[in-house]
Structure 1
Amino acid sequence: MDFSLTEAQNDLSRLTRDLLTSSATTSAVDRNSFDRPLWQAMVRAGLLDAALPAPVGGGFGLLEQCSILIEIGRAVAAVPYLSSVAVAASAVAQFGDSAQVQRWVGAVADGSMVIAPALATEDDRFVAEKKAAGWCLRGSRSVVPSGSFADAFLVEATTEDGSMLVVVDHDIDGVRVSAQHVVDGTDAALLEMEDVTVDHTAVIGTPGDGGAQWAHRRATIATCAYQLGVVEQALELTSDYACTRKQFDKPIGSFQAVRQRLADAYIDVEAIRMTLWQAAWRESEELSADAEIAAAKFWAAEAGHRLAHTVVHVHASIGIFLDYPVHRYFVAAKRAEFALGGATSQLRTLGRMLAQPTSS
């Protein structure tokens, strides 16, 4: 296990932070929680294609994507990097053929297309039935990230031979997209499909090839990286506030109870950081990482919850003002907490792994 960051990770992290610091606070965000000017600035800076495989990208991978996502989380930037690049485009690049990579990954890399991942949950899923002309899809998926402005969807569909990934264009007959207002914006959407027919060129890989599970793992790791950036910056803002806000002519950070709570928050941030990089490194090395990913998401959820509330409590009444920056970090942390399974769900996953008999 190597916790040191690569030169590419450090360079991409600095570039992303510089860009977001200069652009994110001044660009206009449209009604769908999508900062289009900032997204195009990221395209011009080469951040979209840098961590995608060659020939459409710069040849870097998951670790570099995590470094970029941490900075996006620190800025709480309204850009679909997590959904469109780290999950959808990466899955197509991993399991698609050369034509599919050029068609969809290339379009994501140059900023001309946003692809939203509609991965199955316990309650929402799509079913695919094989037809002579291709596949017939039906079903629904709620709260699809970046779905309200996506040009296409990477859909996980269940078949007789297992799950498979399919790219479905937004404007195909039978596809209905309804924008949804979630805790931190209106980027999500309800995706419904009724007898939607796609040909074989839209199928990424083959049914049962593990593509859907791969996408779930990458989405979970990416969410943990984003959450790390959110809570890291939120703690820095809160520490600065505790040093300047005074009560009884003393900074509130000098009070024992506040110091202890901020110290606990620091430990939580470091727990998210350590478990994230352990899971990301093992996944990037193609090692077994299911338990590490579940542990990382547990800490992203549990520690993220504690830290989000610590931030608001230390700021007191100003922490709940909608026009104060702390509020943005609170709602971002709460959404990331429950995305792809909260803390209890991850503990159940780890429990099932521990309960499995080991081979002698």
Structure 2
Amino acid sequence: MTVLSPDHLALRKATREFAENEVAPIAARLDLQDETIPEDLLAKMADLGLFGVTLPAEYGGLGSDIVALGVVTEELTRVSLSVGSLIQRNIGCGHILNRFGTEEQKARYLEGIATGRLLTASAGTEPDAGSDAANIKTMAVRARGIDGGEVYRVTGTKQWCTFADRADLIFTLCRTGEDKHGGISSLIVEKPAGGFDPPRLTGTRIPTAGYHGMYSYTLHFDELEVPAANLVGGEEGQGFRQLMGGYEIARIGFAFRCIGLARGAYEAALDYVRQRRQFDRPIAEFQAVRFRLADMRTQIDAARALAYNAAVKASQGVRADLEAGEAKLFASEMARKVAWEALYLHGGNGYAVDSPVNRYWRDSGLLPIGEGTSDIQREIIARRILADA
């Protein structure tokens, strides 16, 4: 089945050229020196429309479908997981805002998000609320602000908020009521780009083994005032539903991140085994090596088929939580295995931190955990199977 239209193919070509010409030359530096993604690259990504692939054209996005998101994501993460992941933040937050936000909120923020003029982050996870997303404790209490307007005073701690320092907006899940699910609301927190808003909002960086280029933070809110007009949708208690409404596109995008990383690792291994000689011949001539390559390629192609199946359904407006869960589960575990096999085929050279394949291996450790762990995906899949039986 052909799922890529001429427009998809043109977008893939443009993104691949951008990734190879602009991202690949700095990918190793971002990783080894743990630098943040530079501003000039962000500007070039915005010029290409990458922050608004699926967002409406009327707000400055490309107005394309979720298949296009997959195409773009795979090409970017093939050379850098961090760069490929960056666009998901704007697309994910923009999707939620476009679907659930008020007209005033869309008019104020959506064009900036779609064009990359405003960069976003999401703050949902807390020290005691990971997979149990509804267990959040961060409170948002409605009050009159110091300027006399209606505000929410936000107090609590968020964890694993990636790109929080550079983001202009942080979509923050807060508790506004006692009901576990119905007491959750989402607020759009404005902040200075490149910093925080002390003492009411501070951030502590979390060092990570991989995924360099974007920093993750623990955020501390201390009665930070957020305008009541920034309550997503204008109605309290809708935050959990909004979160769930964004998971399909998020998990499909995540699956394509896994596929891109696996493809990058596989291609690095393929190049290496063709060049590396032992016993007077390229190691690609040894059956054990060839079988590994065959398995890696097969697993990547299988994951891509699952991801496109989910993307096509979601693009058609068909419920795709089962397919998104399948794609995310299979692709994330596949990428972890393929990255290890790629490192293994490099031998000791792959274990060197400055080896490109080592970056793929370190980055792959996040994949079965992020955007819902593998076991959470299995639970989602099983729940649908049993409900449909």
TM-score by length of 2: 0.83
| Deviation for aligned residue 1:116 | 0.5
Question: Is 1:204 aligned to 2:215, yes or no?
Answer: no
| Deviation for aligned residue 1:292 | 1.0
Q: Which residue of 1 aligns with 2:131?
A: 122
- Paired-residue identity, %: 22
Partners of 2:243 and 2:372 in 1: how far apart?
16
Q: Which residue of 1 aligns with 2:23?
A: 24
Structure-2 change in CA distance of 1:148 and 1:327 (3 Å): farther
| Deviation for aligned residue 1:296 | 0.8
Match of 2:217 among 176, 189, 194: 189
Please list, as runs of the form range in 1=range in 2, the aligned pairs for 1:210-359 lying within 5 A after superposition.
210-356=241-387, 358=389
Partners of 1:3 and 1:101 in 2: how far apart?
35
Q: List gaps (5 residues or longer) in structure 2.
A: 144-149
The letter of the residue matching 1:168 is V
Partners of 1:131 and 1:20 in 2: how far apart?
45
Paired residue secondary structure (2:170): strand
Structure-2 change in CA distance of 1:177 and 1:32 (3 Å): farther
Partners of 2:373 and 2:335 in 1: how far apart?
10
| Deviation for aligned residue 1:309 | 0.8
Q: Which residue of 2 aligns with 1:109?
A: 114
Mean alpha-carbon deviation: is it higher for 124-133 or for 69-78? 124-133
**Does structure 2 conserve the Cα–Cα contact (< 8 Å) formed by 1:242 and 1:251?**
yes
Match of 1:175 among 193, 196, 201: 201
Partners of 1:204 and 1:52 in 2: how far apart?
17
What RMSD, in angstroms, separates the aligned Cα atoms of the two structures?
2.4
Partners of 1:292 and 1:87 in 2: how far apart?
18
Partners of 1:122 and 1:223 in 2: how far apart?
16
**Does structure 2 conserve the Cα–Cα contact (< 8 Å) formed by 1:12 and 1:47?**
no
Mean alpha-carbon deviation: is it higher for 47-56 or for 76-85? 76-85
Paired residue secondary structure (1:338): coil
Match of 2:155 among 131, 138, 154: 138
- The one-character-per-residue Cα deviations of 1:243-293 (angstroms, maximum 9, x if unpaired) are 221111122122121111111111210121011111122222221212111
| Deviation for aligned residue 1:231 | 0.6
Partners of 2:24 and 2:388 in 1: how far apart?
52
Paired residue secondary structure (1:336): coil
Partners of 1:49 and 1:305 in 2: how far apart?
29
Mean alpha-carbon deviation: is it higher for 180-189 or for 128-137? 128-137
Paired residue secondary structure (2:58): coil
Please list, as runs of the form range in 1=range in 2, the aligned pairs for 1:34-73 lying within 5 A after superposition.
34-56=37-59, 57-73=61-77
**Does structure 1 conserve the Cα–Cα contact (< 8 Å) formed by 2:322 and 2:384?**
yes
**Does structure 2 conserve the Cα–Cα contact (< 8 Å) formed by 1:313 and 1:319?**
yes
Structure-2 change in CA distance of 1:345 and 1:76 (3 Å): same
- The one-character-per-residue Cα deviations of 1:201-258 (angstroms, maximum 9, x if unpaired) are 2122243373211223322221111111111121112112112211111221221211
The letter of the residue matching 1:166 is L
TM-score by length of 1: 0.90
Paired residue secondary structure (2:57): coil
| Deviation for aligned residue 1:294 | 1.2
**Does structure 2 conserve the Cα–Cα contact (< 8 Å) formed by 1:167 and 1:204?**
yes
**Does structure 2 conserve the Cα–Cα contact (< 8 Å) formed by 1:96 and 1:204?**
yes
| Deviation for aligned residue 1:312 | 0.6
The letter of the residue matching 1:105 is L
Partners of 2:272 and 2:9 in 1: how far apart?
28
Match of 1:82 among 78, 87, 110: 87
**Does structure 2 conserve the Cα–Cα contact (< 8 Å) formed by 1:70 and 1:226?**
yes
- The one-character-per-residue Cα deviations of 1:137-179 (angstroms, maximum 9, x if unpaired) are 3332321222232222112234433543321123456222222
**Does structure 2 conserve the Cα–Cα contact (< 8 Å) formed by 1:275 and 1:296?**
yes
**Does structure 1 conserve the Cα–Cα contact (< 8 Å) formed by 2:156 and 2:221?**
yes
Structure-2 change in CA distance of 1:291 and 1:123 (3 Å): closer
Structure-2 change in CA distance of 1:13 and 1:169 (3 Å): same
Partners of 2:225 and 2:266 in 1: how far apart?
48
Mean alpha-carbon deviation: is it higher for 10-19 or for 91-100? 91-100
Paired residue secondary structure (1:257): helix
Structure-2 change in CA distance of 1:328 and 1:36 (3 Å): farther
| Deviation for aligned residue 1:75 | 1.4
Partners of 1:110 and 1:242 in 2: how far apart?
42
- The one-character-per-residue Cα deviations of 1:89-122 (angstroms, maximum 9, x if unpaired) are 2222222233322332222334332111223433
Question: Is 1:165 aligned to 2:191, yes or no?
Answer: no
The letter of the residue matching 1:167 is I
Paired residue secondary structure (2:218): strand
